[in-house]
Structure 1
Amino acid sequence: MHTFFIAPTGFGVGLTSISLGLVGALERSGLKVGFFKPIAQPHAGDEGPERSSELIARTHGLNSPKPLSLGHVERMLGDGQLDELLEEIISLYQRAAVDKDVVIVEGMVPTRHASYAARVNFHLAKSLDADVILVSAPEDESLTELSDRIEIQAQLFGGPKDPKVLGVILNKVRSEQGVAAFAERLQELSPLLKTADFRLLGCIPWQEELNAPRTKDVAELLGARILNAGEYEQRRMLKIVLCARAVANSVQLLKPGTLVVTPGDRDDIILSAALAAMNGVPLAGLLLCSDFAPDPRIMELCRGALASGLPVMTVGTGSYDTATNLNRLNKEIPVDDRERAEKVADFVAGHIDHDWLATRCGTPRELRLSPPAFRYQLVQRAK
């Protein structure tokens, strides 16, 4: 039985997407794969099951043990019960590992409210005797800064000399020269990646359409009132256009996947969007702001566009606040968006070195029992 522990180098690296792809990649290699998210970290507004575990269940059919709540974990850490917490997690891990060749364990994401995440991840990886795979995403930084960030995180788990620290997967790579050239430049620059013991295990290009929420998700997150649902469960928002200009200057912006944001009294923009829809342009939708109700006579003229599936929604906020709220939308995959989750899983799996990882799973290794794991085994044998 082999364990891969995936640890983020920061916030917003797309850890759930990497989990989806890693499970898919190892399944392609013919391995029986398990998944385990030890500690839940719900986003604001999240309700119901933990997101990563639920998406893995819906896309790969893997049922994972229910993660521990953040409140429970923080109480135990606050009471100095780290070892007891680790034993509890090891017990859950054993359930995820039944009849599996390999288990993917998703670590904690460091946030303002969970600054202790890196310390917990270190103890989790050690307690589970896991191979560590770092997950990073290039931000507005130089290659040198990215290289330094990866090296610092590797050092937290013992550094490149520790055979348990396997390498890094880079996600959301945007490069005009392409991901292959980006990876080559990083490997030339990074002292860590020049060693034989630390590898670049995947380089995932940024794909706009894989990050596109459904119009329905946008409506729910904004608390918008639906005037015409149309195809709002199928259409996706690729781009936001705030229409404050004259119609002639806005026409070229009305493209497939565009969410048109305009005050409800801009009859000219509403009619333009309706004409585009009737001409076969599948807009993401029409979002009316500033709490102006559209003129019923105008909406009657738009009846053909509404019948074609154009979603129309309204919010009370003004243009500026609406645009700000749209840019702050949670980009995570909703648990019921199976189509997007499956596309992400396939795309990420196609860019991961799964052959090398599968080979690693078959490599004989010396098991190292941490004190919590040793105590857990003693208790099980005593039972």
Structure 2
Amino acid sequence: MPSKKVLFLASANREAGLTSMALGLARALQREGLRVAFSKPVGQSPLGLSEITDPSSAFARDLCDLPVTRSLSFTRATEFVAAGDIDGLMDEVVDLLDELDGDYDVLVVEGLVSVETDTLALPVNAAMCRALGADLIPVVNASRPSANDMGGLVRRVARQFGSGEESTDLDGIYAGVLVNKVPEGTNPDALRQAMQADLGPDLPILGSIPFDPSLYAPRLQEMVDAMGLSVENAGAMAAGRVTEVVVAARSVELVLPCLVPGALLVTPGDRADICLAASLAFLNGTRLAGLLLTCGSRPDEFVSEIMRPALEAGLPIFLSNNDTYQAAAQLAQLDCHVSADDRHQMERVIGFIADRIDVSSLMSRIGETVRPLLSPPAFRHQLVLLSRAAGKRIVLPEGEEPRTIEAAIKCAEKQIAQCVLLGDPEEIVGKISKLGLTQPPNLEIVDPASVRARYVAPMVELRKHKGLPPELAAEQLEDTVVLGTMMVTEGDVDGLVSGAVHTTADTVRPALQLIRTNPGAKIVSSVFFMLMPTEVLIYGDCAINPDPSAEELATIAIQSAETASAFGIEPRVAMISYSTGGSGIGSDVEKVRDATRLAQALRPDLLIDGPLQYDAASVQSVGQQKAPDSAVAGRANVFIFPDLNTGNTTYKAVQRSAGVVSVGPMLQGLRKPVNDLSRGALVEDIVYTIALTAIQAVAPETSVVSDGKAV
């Protein structure tokens, strides 16, 4: 997932010309010397009705010379949405960006075009914009009736895409607004100034593009194909375009002023006066697009003979079996999008739009060095990449549990880790079959009975200070969690994940007894990665320590900040309490206050603040009011709770009430990684916990807290 600036273009209303505006913006940015990349994550036909190659990427590559990604098919996106798996779709969208080499300054992303026949565009566009950490640029079609109040339209898009806490904070969502197809007779500059006054100076109108019919003129061949016309005389058809349609329903003298270059004249074949007038106009140098004869009728032989010089000079003639009204209705519905093979026309469109876009307000945004939010899809994508690179072997003691089996297979297929299922091989293979799955070759199944004996002596040695006899060690190794923990201890596997059917105590106790803590680590703690809609938050400790002291709480804060950094999250640590700053008194808030001072003293390089109430830590407006001088308030992404009761309750309330995926708990402070699952864990939760464990196994924690010092 790139950390470069991402600009996401989405239609604010229909027929906004999204592709041409996206490419026009890309060209304008190129003119400023920026390296621009392009992506249309989900492909669709111009009308979104058929499965064809989307032209956007082809134009971006061939005309603008941009690096581009592939597009997922519209059908595939529809399947994900129908299955309620927007997150899965976003994972694939983020994966696409790996195709870019990273040698660019800004990525321009074109969203789905909204059409009458589907409701896919809005939810998918909003999800993609969040997943990519993008700044939104809505494109408004100024010719649509719904664009009468364009400021209100822009605000509505802000609400639809979601703006976090404040739906009126347009500058926090948008990089700017593009206005397209300003109607003839409306001054584009005046319209731009009026919109700017309405929206305020912080939300720039990047461009106000007048409507030029010649840019959207379909080629005659496209008209013939779309309407099923017969070509009576091809003439100059190959180079012809329809810039205007003239329906000749009136007397010839009233039609004559409408005979202009690019006009397609529509008339019944028996209107000799119109046919002759068109022929004479063409011979006199007015390059009409052509003559469309309706009702299936042709001019009589005498009129045709008079028209012959015009036909020989190149006047195209077409025949339709429909009546004039029906033919005119078909013409009105012609798709005016530039076809994928119409490169010359698209070059004109791109240049026309780029000339009228001012990107000066974007330059400072693109040059920002502030690290972007790590969105949930980007986080999951990063987990997969890092775990693949780790190449670790992870034991799953609950090898006969169906969710665990399915997760292990997914990990094998995605090459996240080499999973080892502990359990009866026949039982496991039977369940794989019942689940309708196939056992991949890189999935190991180990019968506990076949390996248990080799760990008795090492376990006796580890527990000799407790006087553990071999018989009791063999008995304890009947528990697959204990057996798996010994496999980790002895280095036969790199980590362990359990908890789908075992309690936290069942998973953690053997790790504390056999693996033990890192040298110098006072405690083992835990964090959950909370995959919120727009970013990933870290909650700690929500699983291990019931009532940590101030010193232990400071350790948890530092451990959690280091975990955040290890997974690409720049930590801003909030020490949570029922009181903010110095407003509260009592032993509970004093503990948090003392823990904050200790953590700040131990790690002055980290952003740590407290006590902070949850809303003061997470909501910018509240943080500014309650703790205006805090660098963490309103911006926290690591939340340290004062005790297990508060932490566990909060994480479950957020997870269940808001439908948030939580990954973890991930244990911190052990010499080798062991991680616990919630017994309500979903298959995907298990998959990503396995990935976390594999990444932890690469480099055990080297910065821990010991005796009040960072080592």
Q: TM-score when scaled to structure 2?
A: 0.51
| Equivalent residue number for residue 399 of structure 2 | none
Structure 2 Cα separation of the partners of residues 108 and 285 of structure 1: 35
Q: By how many angstroms is 1:72 displaced?
A: 1.1
| Equivalent residue number for residue 8 of structure 1 | 11
Once the two structures are superposed, the pairs formed by residues 1-383 of structure 1 within 5 Å of their partners are 1-42=4-45, 43=47, 48-62=52-66, 64-96=68-100, 98-139=102-143, 141=145, 145-157=149-161, 158=163, 159=167, 160=169, 163-174=172-183, 176=185, 178-188=187-197, 190=198, 193-196=199-202, 198-383=203-388
Higher RCO by CA contacts (8 Å cutoff, separation 6 or greater): 1
Question: Cα–Cα, structure 1 residues 271 and 369, in superposed 2: closer, same or farther, change >3 Å?
Answer: same
Structure 2 Cα separation of the partners of residues 44 and 201 of structure 1: 27
The DSSP-based 3-state class of the residue aligned with 1:60 is: coil
Structure 1 Cα separation of the partners of residues 293 and 49 of structure 2: 23
Question: Cα–Cα, structure 1 residues 308 and 63, in superposed 2: closer, same or farther, change >3 Å?
Answer: farther
Counterpart amino acid of residue 3 in structure 1: V
| Deviation larger for 283-292 or 235-244 | 235-244
Q: By how many angstroms is 1:306 displaced?
A: 1.6
Residues 119-178 of structure 1: CA deviation (Å, up to 9, x unaligned): 221211111111111111224548772211111112333142563422211111126351
Question: Cα–Cα, structure 1 residues 357 and 97, in superposed 2: closer, same or farther, change >3 Å?
Answer: farther
Structure 2 Cα separation of the partners of residues 314 and 268 of structure 1: 17
Structure 2 Cα separation of the partners of residues 185 and 350 of structure 1: 21
The DSSP-based 3-state class of the residue aligned with 1:325 is: helix
Structure whose alpha-carbon radius of gyration is higher: 2
Structure 1 Cα separation of the partners of residues 148 and 343 of structure 2: 37
For the Cα contact (< 8 Å) 1:35–1:96, is it kept in 2?
A: no
Q: By how many angstroms is 1:272 displaced?
A: 1.7
Q: By how many angstroms is 1:195 displaced?
A: 4.8
For the Cα contact (< 8 Å) 2:42–2:112, is it kept in 1?
A: yes
Structure 1 Cα separation of the partners of residues 311 and 267 of structure 2: 17
Structure 1 Cα separation of the partners of residues 144 and 132 of structure 2: 34
For the Cα contact (< 8 Å) 2:14–2:141, is it kept in 1?
A: no
The DSSP-based 3-state class of the residue aligned with 1:6 is: strand
Question: Cα–Cα, structure 1 residues 113 and 96, in superposed 2: closer, same or farther, change >3 Å?
Answer: farther
| Deviation larger for 222-231 or 140-149 | 140-149
Residues 315-373 of structure 1: CA deviation (Å, up to 9, x unaligned): 11001100111111112111122222111101111111123323321121222111221
Question: Cα–Cα, structure 1 residues 167 and 63, in superposed 2: closer, same or farther, change >3 Å?
Answer: closer
The DSSP-based 3-state class of the residue aligned with 1:166 is: coil
Structure 2 Cα separation of the partners of residues 321 and 152 of structure 1: 37
Counterpart amino acid of residue 65 in structure 2: G
Structure 1 Cα separation of the partners of residues 299 and 126 of structure 2: 56
Counterpart amino acid of residue 238 in structure 2: E
Q: By how many angstroms is 1:285 displaced?
A: 0.4
The DSSP-based 3-state class of the residue aligned with 2:125 is: helix
The DSSP-based 3-state class of the residue aligned with 1:287 is: strand
Counterpart amino acid of residue 124 in structure 1: M
Structure 2 Cα separation of the partners of residues 303 and 175 of structure 1: 37
| Deviation larger for 234-243 or 273-282 | 234-243
Structure 1 Cα separation of the partners of residues 130 and 66 of structure 2: 24
Structure 1 Cα separation of the partners of residues 253 and 115 of structure 2: 45
RMSD: 2.1
For the Cα contact (< 8 Å) 2:158–2:173, is it kept in 1?
A: no
| Deviation larger for 356-365 or 22-31 | 356-365
**Percent identity at matched positions?**
35
For the Cα contact (< 8 Å) 1:97–1:103, is it kept in 2?
A: no
Question: Cα–Cα, structure 1 residues 268 and 354, in superposed 2: closer, same or farther, change >3 Å?
Answer: same
Question: Cα–Cα, structure 1 residues 98 and 147, in superposed 2: closer, same or farther, change >3 Å?
Answer: same
Structure 2 Cα separation of the partners of residues 240 and 195 of structure 1: 41
